[in-house]
Structure 1
Amino acid sequence: MREWNKKRKALRHYDQLAPVYDIQYAEEQNAKIKAALNNTKPGENDLVLDLGCGTGFLFEQTAKTKLLVGIDISSKILQEAKKRAKKLPNAAVIRADADYTPFQNQTFDYVFAVTILQNMPNPLKTLREIKRVSKPQSAVILTGLKKKFSQERFTNLLNKSGLNVSTIKTNPQLKGHVAICQK
């Protein structure tokens, strides 16, 4: 019950924030995405999952992929993401819980989870779901807010999940740690 209460609280928060989310977070989110994409970028044959997609900041930057799927639990934030997805022939959005995605095992070549783990009641459970839907040797790009995760705690969490951490970027301009991992 406690798990769902935390998710419900996040859902309500992002439903209320939806109309102004881009104004409030565009710069911060785009900086994290840019830092991640400097190290790895999906190709035209890749299947990409944007877990906790928010309003879809990642969509345009990964538009040249085979398929891009964004999921989020907030219906109002997904309304904003749909506006971006409609501009792309290969993008779709789905309302779903990040801990229980509707995908088969080993579906995606790339999984992005930007600024979501701090909202999850059990981040390790979320990471295990990410690992489940990732293909072998897939790239998993995650961020962890510095105010929630020290770099050591973030790294330990990723290692505990069984993901292989290739790089963690932390710099003063970013409000979060950016990790590039492999399954």
Structure 2
Amino acid sequence: MNNHKKDVKTKYDTLGSKLYDLRYSEEQYEKYVCILNEISDDGLVLDNGCGTGLLFSLLESTVIGIDLSGNLLRKAKGRLKKNHHLIEGDSENLPFRDSIYETVISVTVIQNLSNPKKLSSESIRVSKKDATIIISSLKKVYSKEEIKRIIDNKELVIKKIFTKEKINDWITISNRK
């Protein structure tokens, strides 16, 4: 694990799950409502950077959540349904086979990565053909044009990039070719 990843892991492990939920849950739910309008609730879903598992309560489909922070994953464990699973791992080097997910969701993760383009390429690698890939990024870190440039890939069709009043992110909705 490189120093940047260690710093991010330490930051979120130290922040703690209660403070994370207190600080971020309201806005995260706003993002999830926007996202849920864009996906079907069937097939295998990857929540890449799942944090405390806030998205789990909103999905009935089979969901795999991955996060670098063991502390946040312990909180997420309490939100699991029988068809939800957790893995401690790295968003830039996903521990999954190619082409297995119908939907890949990564909310407010990309700005924490040392190689943001890797999030897009890994999301494409693990998703099936025609899968929906949703990546959000803090507006204060990346402009709309920058996030488009970062996630743009010849194997991806960007359908839209948008934001809403109570959301501090750009939300990108794409499909794998």
Q: Post-superposition shift, 1:5?
A: 1.2
Task: Indicate the SS of the match to 2:137.
Answer: strand
Distance (Å, rounded) in 2 between the aligned partners of 1:81 and 1:75: 10
Between the aligned partners of 1:162 and 1:106, the Cα distance in structure 2 is 13
Map of 2:19 onto structure 1? 20
CA distance in 1, matches of 2:165, 2:58: 23
Question: TM-score, normalised on structure 1?
Answer: 0.91
Note the C-alpha offset of 1:17: 1.4
Take 1:33 and 1:41, find their aligned partners in 2: how far apart are those partners? 13
Residue 73 of structure 2 is matched in structure 1 by 78
Instruction: Report the TM-score when normalising by structure 2.
Output: 0.94
Residue in 2 that maps onto 1:117:
110
Contact 2:39 2:103 (8 Å CA) reproduced: no
Following TM superposition, by how much is the alpha carbon of 1:175 offset from its aligned partner in structure 2, in angstroms?
Answer: 0.2
- Segments of 5+ residues of structure 1 without an aligned counterpart are none
Aligned position for 1:40: 39
Shift in Å at residue 40 of structure 1? 2.4
- SS of equivalent to 2:108: coil
* Contact in 2 for aligned 1:108/1:135 (Cα 8 Å): yes
From 36, 48, 51, the counterpart of 2:48:
51
2:110–2:119 Cα contact (<8 Å) kept: yes
Match of 1:145 in 2: 138
> Where in structure 1 do 4 or more consecutive aligned residues deviate above 4 Å?
none
CA contact (8 A) 2:68 2:90 kept: yes
Aligned residue identity for 1:78: L
SS of alignment partner, residue 6 of structure 1 = helix
Q: Deviations over 1:77-132 (max 9, x none)?
A: 110111111xx110010001111111100010000000100000001012111110
Aligned-partner SS, 1:59:
helix
Correspondence list, 1:57-96, <5 A: 57-62=54-59, 64-65=60-61, 67-85=62-80, 88-96=81-89
Q: Give the Cα–Cα distance (whole angstroms) in 2 for the partners of residues 92 and 155 of structure 1.
A: 30
Identity %: 35
Rounded to whole Å, the distance in 2 between the matches of 1:160 and 1:48 is 21
**How far apart are residue 161 of structure 1 and its match?**
6.5
How many residues align structurally?
175
